[in-house]
Chains A and B, each alone.
Chain A
């Protein structure tokens, strides 16, 4: 049970260059499942390793339950970590791997025995306790790595992309197992991933990172419906949100090279700061459809030529090229017959429109929340 507080944390590796982690300011509540999400190289692992005590903190303070731990060595922090590589001790059996941390902490032998048994039962590792890691499958190794953290019953769990080496089916299983364990243990968990499905399904909150900085923190659906900037908007969602550059000539409507949209979510005073300036209009691929009626009376539209059709089975992705080479992707129903080169017009409800200031990439705050209409 612990609150982990990152207060303006920075990390600079030797050799100059921009900081790997820049001014990260996040508080992870007691019993929370926080997901650190971001593209490769954005500083997720570095942040996690600083919390673990495996990496020094260049500036800022890190506290756990109100106690500053910047200078506390990793071995004294009572934090368990699951590594992407699993990092199992190759010369020890599964049982020894599981009990290694407990033995150090002078836990009585019967207690160790009991906890190892219990965790082995939960994770289905009981038949393999006497085996060495090299004689286990990838999924079994992954569960040993998980179990090694669980037997310790630590204050905080850290996970660095623990599922990325598993196949799709095993990944879903383990994901659900982890969610279950979080409910059972009620511990604080910090989970690093670049997989947005994991982030959306596992996190009580997600923290989207970009270039070492925190782009946005919030509940998964909140971040999805109210992205703070174009980076978050495009990072969450597959395919990424379509963005159209435009100039906002008058409040209430916007038109640019094949795109027309009414801005009904914003009251005129909300739009006042961006009138006459360059903006980005955003529409998610799943909000585009061929059906004008379904999009309502004030529907926005996108017109262009089809240049790619990708049938995925459950649905079909249709990519459209607008005037001046602007591209846009729509997620349409599987029955759609679209031919490459064909002219097409797609519609979307005005309530599905996002608006960003092109200069700052920040979202223009809407007067009506978007999630409410869906």
Chain B
């Protein structure tokens, strides 16, 4: 690498100058192995029995016990957990995205008394760790008969993710040129229509980002779910997986199968929305 520094820099950007093409590929390759390795290891364990795993942690599956997935899905109620998770997370993410985008638009675009106060309160709730609200949330949900219900959990998830969503979207929406809104007004559109036809499509990269973030975070959320849900039929996936962990015996093979099942939607969500993340949509609007 010293040689690379000594050579006259072929490129103006600092990163290639430091590493060079090959060096960069090496680092990225190493990082990929580092992050993907444990995942692949888990994938092999999901088709091995716990007995086989204890005998040799790293062996290649022989034979492939695909029936572990059927056992998890049917016999261990993973179908129920999966369905519960889907209902709660999809509802929460949908509400967070719509309400968050509307709130962010209002905060970014309209001048009204208390605008910055609302923004300040939202921002302060991002600073504190959400765990400190756990006890009081528990009490509130009990008071309103929402404890141990998926509706209650959904409401909690919405309130958990809303502040950061509004914060991120406000920053993005505020940068949409005011002239676009004025032009739409001159074209005859009212506030709601402008939100739907201008803000949402132009804000799509930012909205897709928050959508993926919220989805992944809530799909994997454990702490609030385990405290606020007691019924086995109402478990979400993360608590369902935890049920395989006894005090003395852990069914590693089944846990791995459960994790593999739970990971699929996250990968799908990312594959579907990531394409929208890349494009900057305001190119060509003004100037």
**Chain B: number of interface residues, binned into ranges:** 20 to 34
Give per-residue flags for A131-147: 1 if the beta carbon is below 8 A from chain B beta carbons, else 0. 01111101001000000
Q: Determine how close the nearest CB of chain A comes to the CB of B283; give it in whole angstroms.
A: 4
List, in ascending order, chain B residues with CB within 8 A of A88's CB: 183, 284-286
CB-CB under 8 A for A81 and B284, given A87-B180, A89-B198: no
A231 contacts partner chain B, Cβ-Cβ < 8 Å: no
> Are the CB atoms of B188 and A87 closer together than 8 Å?
no
CB-CB under 8 A for A132 and B284, given A75-B190, A89-B198, A101-B188: yes
> Are the CB atoms of B187 and A138 closer together than 8 Å?
no
A349 contacts partner chain B, Cβ-Cβ < 8 Å: no
CB-CB under 8 A for A89 and B189, given A141-B284, A165-B287: no
CB-CB under 8 A for A90 and B283, given A83-B179, A83-B182: yes
> Are the CB atoms of B284 and A134 closer together than 8 Å?
yes
A91 contacts partner chain B, Cβ-Cβ < 8 Å: yes
List, in ascending order, chain A residues with CB within 8 A of B183's CB: 81, 83, 87-89, 148
Q: Which of A39-58 contact B (CB under 8 A)?
A: 49, 52-54
Give per-residue flags for B193-204: 1 if the beta carbon is below 8 A from chain A beta carbons, else 0. 100001001101
> Are the CB atoms of B287 and A75 closer together than 8 Å?
no
A104 contacts partner chain B, Cβ-Cβ < 8 Å: yes
List, in ascending order, chain A residues with CB within 8 A of B182's CB: 49, 52, 54, 74, 81, 83, 87
List, in ascending order, chain A residues with CB within 8 A of B286's CB: 85-88
List, in ascending order, chain A residues with CB within 8 A of B287's CB: 85-86, 138, 165
CA gap between A138 and B284 in the complex, in Å: 9
CB closest residue in chain B, given A133? B284
> Are the CB atoms of A79 and B186 closer together than 8 Å?
yes
A80 contacts partner chain B, Cβ-Cβ < 8 Å: yes
List, in ascending order, chain A residues with CB within 8 A of B285's CB: 85-90, 133
> Are the CB atoms of A74 and B186 closer together than 8 Å?
yes
CA gap between A86 and B193 in the complex, in Å: 21
List, in ascending order, chain A residues with CB within 8 A of B187's CB: 75, 100-101, 104, 148, 152
> Are the CB atoms of A90 and B281 closer together than 8 Å?
yes
> Are the CB atoms of B180 and A54 closer together than 8 Å?
no
CB-CB under 8 A for A90 and B185, given A85-B177, A133-B284, A141-B284: no
> Are the CB atoms of A75 and B188 closer together than 8 Å?
yes
B217 contacts partner chain A, Cβ-Cβ < 8 Å: no
Give per-residue flags for A58-85: 1 if the beta carbon is below 8 A from chain B beta carbons, else 0. 0000000000000001111001110101
A136 in complex: contacting residue of B185, B281, B282, B284, CB < 8 Å: B284
> Are the CB atoms of A91 and B185 closer together than 8 Å?
no
List, in ascending order, chain B residues with CB within 8 A of A138's CB: 287
Q: Which of B196-253 contact A (CB under 8 A)?
A: 198, 201-202, 204
A91 in complex: contacting residue of B179, B188, B190, B281, CB < 8 Å: B281
A105 contacts partner chain B, Cβ-Cβ < 8 Å: yes
A53 in complex: contacting residue of B185, B282, B284, CB < 8 Å: B185
CA gap between A145 and B183 in the complex, in Å: 10
CB closest residue in chain B, given A136? B284
Q: Determine how close the nearest CB of chain B comes to the CB of A138; give it in whole angstroms.
A: 7
List, in ascending order, chain A residues with CB within 8 A of B201's CB: 91
List, in ascending order, chain B residues with CB within 8 A of A81's CB: 182-183, 186
CA gap between A148 and B204 in the complex, in Å: 24
CA gap between A49 and B204 in the complex, in Å: 29
Given A88-B183, A90-B281, 10 further pairs, Cβ under 8 A: A53-B185, A75-B188, A75-B190, A80-B186, A83-B183, A85-B286, A89-B180, A89-B198, A90-B284, A148-B187
